[in-house]
Amino acid sequence: MRFSIYQESKKGGRKSNQDRMGYCFTRDALLMIVADGMGGHVQGDMAAQIAVQTVGSLFQQQATPLLKSPQRFLESSIVDAHQQILHYRTANKLSESPRTTIVACIVQNGAAYWAHVGDSRLYWVRSGEVIAQTRDHSKIQSMILQGLASPAEIDTHPDRNKLFNCLGSPELPTVELSRKMTLQPGDTLFLCTDGLWSVVSDEAIASAFADSTVMRAVPDMIYLALMEAGSDADNVTGMAMSWEGADLHQDSGVSTVSMPLGAITTTIDHLRPSQLEVQHSPMTDSEIERAIDDIRSSIRKSNKLMPKI
């Protein structure tokens, strides 16, 4: 694989940064994650940290060097992250569970697979246009589907930050998955929190990647988001990967061709196996299967109302 990748996060006008991000890759597979801890609940930063570390840790265990099923991995690892957050609440005797959104993406064999819970977004940009993006699990998105609001209101409506799906809630999260998406050289995958997309338009995002490398486009968009929002700026986080394919003659970007089979490069801390165990409320394999069946059933019902991406 050959690609360029860059990530950055700023606190904005908030007292602390509750966003978390990270990526890791083997010779043949890449994982990217962005999570946004929900400030309306206790310790949102811990929920985001647990989510990123859990998914990242499981990737490091299972990508050897490929994942057997990227979609299955995304479903099960995000459900595991949800369970870890609930365990953290129990272990620390918190009055409520910390909560977070998450968006994660796997790239392997020249294709991308992504999943999300909440309103952290993924954009797929090609030739200066957004050709696909995730749909927020928010009240305003639901209102649009019901014809109660206009799509033009999605980035500005007062209820845009009210979510009906997140990690850490009492209900099992619905993990929405993409199909297998074949990448072309020059494609960009951009993951970000609502602190960025709520003030930077889709058109500006697409234009940024058409005109600049990910190393310049991401900090430029973060700066723009902070300037547009001013003193009220939310935490702003963005991560972008520009796919360059398997052309070994290119000189730019990261090349994994020479990585040993067992090697992993990561910006995510690895959790010890004991930390991944949900000691107070363990899920058996059959329970995980039932949970994922429930998730798939919910997605099928939702997809009857939503256009495919």
E strand map for 50-163: 100-108, 111-117, 121-126, 129-133
Q: Rounded distance, CA 141 to CA 48, Å?
A: 23
**What pLDDT is recorded for position 301?**
47
Return the number of other C-beta atoms located less than 10 Å from residue 245's C-beta. Answer: 16
CA distance 174 to 8: 27
Here the tokens at position 166 are 């997140």
Instruction: For residue 182, report the phi and psi dihedrals to the nearest 5 degrees.
Output: -80, 125
Give pLDDT, residue 146.
64
Instruction: Determine the pLDDT at residue 248.
Output: 54
Is the sign of the CA dihedral 148, 233, 31, 254 positive or negative? Answer: positive
169 backbone φψ class: left, alpha, beta (φ>0; ψ -120 to 50): beta
Report residues of the chain scoring pLDDT below 50.
273, 275-283, 288, 292, 295-296, 298-309
Cα–Cα distance measured from residue 254 to residue 242, given in angstroms and rounded to the nearest whole number = 10
CA dist., res. 169 & res. 175, Å (int): 13
Q: Which two tokens stand for residue 291?
A: 């949970």
Phi and psi at 143, nearest 5°, equal -65, -40
Residues, the chain: 309
Query: Domains of the chain, with CATH numbers?
Result: 2-11+18-303 (3.60.40.10)
Q: How far is CA 175 from the centre of its chain?
A: 11
Whether residue 109 contacts residue 31, with contact meaning beta carbons closer than 8 Å, is answered with no
pLDDT at 69: 98
The reported pLDDT for the residue numbered 307 is 36
Residue 273, amino acid: P
In this structure, what are the phi and psi dihedrals at residue 9, rounded to the nearest 5 degrees? Answer: -145, 140
Q: State the angle between helix axes of 285-303 and 70-91 in degrees (0 to 180), rounded to the nearest 10.
A: 110
Cβ burial 212-226 (10 Å sphere, 16+ → b, else e): eebeebbebbbebbb
d(CA 186, CA 198): 26
129: number of Cβ within 10 Å: 13
**Comparing C-alpha atoms, which of 50, 115, 38 is closest to residue 85?**
50
Residue 140 has what pLDDT?
73
pLDDT at residue 164, as a whole number: 83
Distance CA(209)–CA(190), nearest Å, equals 9
Instruction: Return the structure tokens found at 242.
Output: 């520009």
Q: What is the pLDDT of residue 137?
A: 86
The structure's pTM equals 0.84
